A and B are shown apart, each in its own frame.
Chain A
Amino acid sequence: MSKNKKETKEPLFHLAKRPAIEWWKAWLIRGAAIISSLIVCALIIVVLTKQNPLEVYAALFKGSFGTQRKFWAMLQKLAILLCISLAVTPAFKMKFWNLGAEGQVLFGGLCSMVLMFEIGDKIPNLLLIIAMLIASILGGILWALFPAVLKAKWGTNESLFTLMMNYIAIQLVSFAIMVWVPSGSSVMGLVNSSTKAGWLPSLLGQKYLLNIIVVAVLTIVMFIYLKYSKQGYEISVVGESENTARYIGINVKKVIIRTMILSGALCGLAGFLLVAGTNHTISKDLAGGDGFTAIMVSWLAKFNPITMVVTSFLIAFLQRGAGEIATNFNLNTSIADILTGIIIFFIIGCEFFINYQIKSTKEKEGK
């Protein structure tokens, strides 16, 4: 018996799935992760830039909370990122890998811009804004529906399909700008800056407030939809196991298509908020990578819309802080990106330690 044991080499440690962990323990681990990430960042700051890490952290904080304007800019960033995250969440919960949020946002935004640019001065503003909203939502749906229908009907690979739809949207935007701006500069600039036709109004003197309110309402609705509605339940079942879903009589194809319509519609809405409520222009960088960052926001929050407020705040906060650090210390923004990467790495890593524990093999033998 003992001979046998010697032959099989046992590693020093092994991993074991934790049984359910108390919530305070989980948060203790998360807190420890954030503190360790800040310590590692501090080391890197000292080694690479010879700056005082505390001052750098102060600048990081100042990026979002330094002035009222910075705070609003952070909230706006948060709102758009959260909106796109909410959009991809039902699809991801269903295990439909929608990597096409970027393109859906962009095409939704393009639909708004077509109306804003072409008929901006021809119809009343309220009508124009409503038309733009509908056009964007339909545009987002269209861009999501192609891959969804093909997946439901023929089982095509949705990751590749949605990803490639992004490139089509980028090319369409480039083409539209080429038509609208014949000088070849490929820059639209502010559209309707004198008439402000198609611009969402400022509420209480805050130009981003409307965006923020829309997304806040959406967050609550999405939370209720996913947690308490029959459709939300169907999404979870399809995500866990398509066979189970079929067995209990859920029409899987219908759920896939319906959920992607929802996902596309919300991406289209994000496109509308970006064109009408924020930038008043369009370029191929409209979504600026948020279509992909949203996936991280959604996963980090374990698809819970309320938790997503926290995770998208984290990303928005770090991005705003990054720019502030670069300006204050005359550094390249890359250093701030490195710090952001480290912090996110630790946060994702700590989820692992919440789910698994490291056990010393010897200890187990001793037992």
Chain B
Amino acid sequence: MKKILAIILSLVLVIGLFAACGNTGTETTTAAPDSESETESDTTEAAADVDYSNVKVGLICLHDENSTYDNNFIMALKEVKENLGLSDDQVLIKTNIGEDDSCLTTAEELVDEGCNIIFADSFGHETYMLQAAQENPDVQFCHATGTHAHTANVPNFHNAFASIYEGRYLAGVAAGMKVQEMIDNGDITAEDAKIGYVGAFPYAEVKSGYSSFFLGVRSIVKEATMEVVYTNSWFDIALEREAALKLINDGCVLISQHADSEGAPKACEEKGVPNVSYNINTASIGPNTALISSRINWAPYYKLGIDSVAKGTSFDADWTGTIATGSVELLEVNEKVAAEGTDAKLAEVKAALEAGTLHVYDISTFTVDGKTVESYLADVDDDGTFTGETEAVSDGYFHESEYRSAPYFDLLIDGITEV
């Protein structure tokens, strides 16, 4: 009898375990749509006169929904699909595609499936996408963050990015107001106003991002400094967490990041340190510390590409989304964390940016090695030599994302230390 009871009990245990595994499985798959609510921007002006029935869209992602970066691409595409009334088999999403031959194979498979416009989201996908474009001239290949389209002369190959440095600057203003509030409350002194930043790679896209964020902070708190830690990976939950904890240990009073997991925001919530995020609304994982987040909304670009294919028209080889196109977005300010008056200040700065009266990289606001940057040759034409050829400074500011969509501001400005 005892034996039978033992068997039954162990069976229950096994089944229980299975059920438990099952639960976590559903959790991870349903966690993603949570952030859907944040992506409701207005690309609803789906022109009724365009016929989308012949369009088939492919998207190649480096990771899956668990990466905030890839999720941002996936959610925007699903939103556009909804708005344009595309059917399920008109949108194919391939996740976890490496930056190697598998990218080319996947692109070719999508062409086989009948896709006539294919997007890829990771920097390392570019050369494979370019090759696929050369081999399939009737299909449009659109690559985000890439640098080659404006010089490649391949008519069906496109690059796109957004002037996200403006969004980061705005997020920096909100962060600066928070730090100022801490100083005013006597929690910290102005000398302690050190910001921490978790970066992925020492690459222009990251450097441009943290520089603009820092300049935003410093437009409010003049004494602010910033410490940057690199994880040397785009997606590594443990490393990003470690980096955030190290920065907090070093005395940073606010953390922001440009890496694609929830590692840093979660560490901040644990330690009660305010956090500024990117591409994701972290209010759910950091109700007491998530301050604000900037995001590239890819919906306008998807719409541009899909519309062009539907109408048979051509579109930009290199496209930069802006605040005006709806590509650069600030996600909701968390009132619980933000300083008073943040919304009003952000509206004011945003208006100045849009009007062109304020420039993020105004050379009067920063120095490099103690000197004002009067001239800088940026490596805009990515010809493999890694030498700058385009004068980026004129009219008193650094012209980021104007000569090419992908960022090229890679100066290390005074006040920022890379650890």
Q: Flag if A323 contacts B94 (CB, 8 Å).
A: yes
Q: Flag if A280 contacts B101 (CB, 8 Å).
A: yes
Q: In the assembled complex, which residues on chain A have CB atoms less than 8 Å from the CB atom of B64?
A: 326, 332-334
Chain A residues 305-347 with CB under 8 Å of chain B are: 323, 326-327, 330-335, 338
Q: In the assembled complex, which residues on chain A have CB atoms less than 8 Å from the CB atom of B22?
A: 44, 47-48
Inter-chain CA distance A330–B92, complex, in Å, is 9
- Chain B, residues 63-106, CB within 8 Å of chain A (1/0): the string is 01110000000000000000000001000111110111100010
Query: Other CB < 8 Å A-B pairs besides A184-B201, A332-B28, 11 of them?
Result: A11-B3, A48-B29, A67-B109, A183-B204, A185-B203, A189-B124, A279-B100, A330-B93, A331-B29, A333-B95, A334-B25
Q: How far does the Cβ of B385 sit from chain A's closest Cβ, in whole Å?
A: 10
6 CB < 8 A contacts A-B: A183-B204, A286-B100, A327-B92, A330-B93, A331-B29, A334-B28
Q: If A11-B3, A183-B379, A334-B25 touch, does A70 touch B96 (CB 8 Å cutoff)?
A: no
Inter-chain CA distance A333–B94, complex, in Å, is 9
Q: How far does the Cβ of A183 sit from chain B's closest Cβ, in whole Å?
A: 6
Inter-chain CA distance A335–B95, complex, in Å, is 13
Q: Flag if A333 contacts B96 (CB, 8 Å).
A: yes
Q: If A73-B105, A285-B100 touch, does A185 touch B201 (CB 8 Å cutoff)?
A: yes
Shortest Cβ distance from A40 into B: residue: B18
Inter-chain CA distance A133–B170, complex, in Å, is 53
Shortest Cβ distance from B234 into A: residue: A186
Q: In the assembled complex, which residues on chain B have CB atoms less than 8 Å from the CB atom of A184?
A: 201-204, 207, 410
Q: Flag if B109 contacts A69 (CB, 8 Å).
A: yes
Chain A residues 1-37 with CB under 8 Å of chain B are: 11-12
Q: Is A236 an interface residue (CB 8 A)?
A: no
Inter-chain CA distance A70–B128, complex, in Å, is 17
Partner of B386 from the list A183, A280, A338 (CB cut-off 8 Å) is: A183
Q: How far does the Cβ of A307 sit from chain B's closest Cβ, in whole Å?
A: 27
Q: How far does the Cβ of B115 sit from chain A's closest Cβ, in whole Å?
A: 12
Chain B residues 104-163 with CB under 8 Å of chain A are: 105, 108-109, 112, 123-124, 126-128, 130-131
Q: In the assembled complex, which residues on chain B have CB atoms less than 8 Å from the CB atom of A333?
A: 64, 95-96
Q: How far does the Cβ of B62 sit from chain A's closest Cβ, in whole Å?
A: 11
Query: Which residues of A come within 8 Å of B, CB atoms?
Result: 11-12, 44, 47-48, 67, 69-70, 73, 174, 181-187, 189-190, 193, 278-281, 283, 285-286, 288, 323, 326-327, 330-335, 338
Q: In the assembled complex, which residues on chain A have CB atoms less than 8 Å from the CB atom of B202?
A: 184
Judged by DSSP, the binding face of B is: helix
Inter-chain CA distance A334–B31, complex, in Å, is 13
Q: Flag if B29 contacts A190 (CB, 8 Å).
A: no
Closest CB pairs A-B (n = 10): A190-B127, A189-B127, A187-B124, A184-B203, A184-B202, A279-B100, A185-B203, A279-B101, A182-B386, A278-B101
Q: Flag if B99 contacts A187 (CB, 8 Å).
A: yes
Shortest Cβ distance from B103 into A: residue: A279
Q: Flag if A193 contacts B109 (CB, 8 Å).
A: no
Which of A70, A183, A285, A323 counts the most B-chain CB atoms under 10 A from its CB?
A183
Q: In the assembled complex, which residues on chain B have CB atoms less than 8 Å from the CB atom of A70?
A: 109
Which of A187, A288, A326 counts the most B-chain CB atoms under 10 A from its CB?
A187
Inter-chain CA distance A325–B148, complex, in Å, is 33
- Chain B, residues 347-389, CB within 8 Å of chain A (1/0): the string is 0000000000000000000000000000000010000001000
Q: In the assembled complex, which residues on chain A have CB atoms less than 8 Å from the CB atom of B32?
A: 332
Partner of A323 from the list B96, B127, B201 (CB cut-off 8 Å) is: B96
Inter-chain CA distance A195–B247, complex, in Å, is 46
Q: How far does the Cβ of A293 sit from chain B's closest Cβ, in whole Å?
A: 15
Q: In the assembled complex, which residues on chain B have CB atoms less than 8 Å from the CB atom of A47?
A: 22
Inter-chain CA distance A67–B110, complex, in Å, is 11
Q: Is B26 an interface residue (CB 8 A)?
A: yes
Chain B residues 1-39 with CB under 8 Å of chain A are: 3, 7, 22, 25-26, 28-29, 32
Q: Flag if A335 contacts B25 (CB, 8 Å).
A: yes
Partner of B3 from the list A12, A288, A335 (CB cut-off 8 Å) is: A12
Q: If A48-B26, A323-B96, A334-B25 touch, does A187 touch B131 (CB 8 Å cutoff)?
A: no
Q: In the assembled complex, which residues on chain A have CB atoms less than 8 Å from the CB atom of B7?
A: 12
Q: Flag if A185 contacts B123 (CB, 8 Å).
A: yes
Q: Flag if A174 contacts B232 (CB, 8 Å).
A: yes
Q: If A69-B112, A186-B201, A281-B100 touch, does A48 touch B25 (CB 8 Å cutoff)?
A: yes
